[in-house]
Chains A and B, each alone.
Chain A
Amino acid sequence: MAERAAGTRWTRRLVLALLLAPALLWLLALIVLPHVDLALLSFRERVAPREYAASLAQYRTFFGEPLYWHVFLRTALLSALATTLTLLVAFPIAWIIAKLARGRMSALLFVVCLIPFWVSETVRTLGWMILLRESGVLPAVLTHLGITAQPVELLYHDATILVGLVYTSLLFMMVPLVGSLESLDNALIEAAYDLGGKGWSILRTIVIPHAAPGITAGCIVVFMLTLGNYLTPTLLGGKNSLWFTEQIYTQFITRFNWEQGAALGFLLLALSTAMVWLGLTLSGQRFSDVMRRV
Chain B
Amino acid sequence: MIPSLPRPAWLRAATALYVAAFLLFLFLPLAVVAVFAFNDAPYPAPPWHGFTLDWFIGNETQGRVGLFRDSELLGSIWTSCIVALWVTGLSVAVGAANAFLMEREQFRGKGVLSMLMLTPLVIPGVILGISILAFASRLADLCTDLFGIEADFLRPGLPLVVLGQFSYIVAIATLTISARLKRFDRSLEDAALNLGASQTAVLRTITLPYLRPALIGSAAIAFLMSFENFNTTLMLVGSDAPLTIMMYGRMREGATPVLNAVSLFLMTASALLALTLMRRGKSQPS
Contacts and interface: CB of A to CB of B under 8 A. Distances in A.
Interface of A: 15-16, 18-20, 22-23, 26-27, 30-35, 37-38, 41, 89, 92-93, 96, 99-100, 102, 109, 111-113, 115-116, 118-131, 133, 135-137, 140, 167, 170, 186, 189-190, 193, 199, 202, 220, 224-225, 227-231, 235, 245, 248-249, 252-253, 258, 261-262, 265, 268-269, 272-273, 276, 287-288, 291-292
B30 A96 contact: no
Nearest to A109: B19
Nearest to B104: A19
B53 interface: no
B58 interface: no
B115 A288 contact: yes
Contacts of B113: 23, 27
B256 interface: no
Contacts, number: 237
A99 B15 CA distance: 12
Given A23-B113, A129-B251, A120 B45 contact: no
Contacts of A37: 131, 134-135, 138
Given A31-B120, A31-B167, A100-B3, A125 B251 contact: yes
Contacts of B248: 122, 231, 235
Interface of B: 1-5, 15, 18-19, 22-23, 25-33, 36, 43-47, 93-94, 97-98, 100-101, 105, 107, 113-127, 130-136, 138, 163-164, 166-167, 170, 175, 179, 224, 227-228, 230-231, 234-235, 243-244, 247-248, 251-252, 259-260, 263, 266-267, 270-271, 273-274, 278
7 contacts: A23-B97, A120-B228, A130-B32, A193-B5, A228-B126, A245-B124, A291-B122
A51 B244 CA distance: 37
B121 A291 contact: yes
Contacts of B234: 230, 249
A73 to B, nearest CB: 17
B131 A16 contact: no
Secondary structure of the B contact surface, majority rule: helix
A195 B5 CA distance: 13
Nearest to A275: B122
Interface centre among A99, A126, A137, A268 (most CB of B within 10 A): A126
Closest 10 CB pairs of A and B: A228-B124, A127-B29, A34-B131, A34-B135, A30-B167, A118-B270, A19-B101, A120-B228, A123-B263, A38-B131
B30 A124 contact: yes
Given A19-B97, A130-B45, A231-B248, 17 more contacts: A30-B163, A120-B227, A120-B263, A121-B228, A122-B228, A124-B29, A126-B259, A136-B45, A190-B2, A224-B122, A230-B126, A235-B251, A245-B124, A248-B127, A252-B133, A265-B130, A288-B115
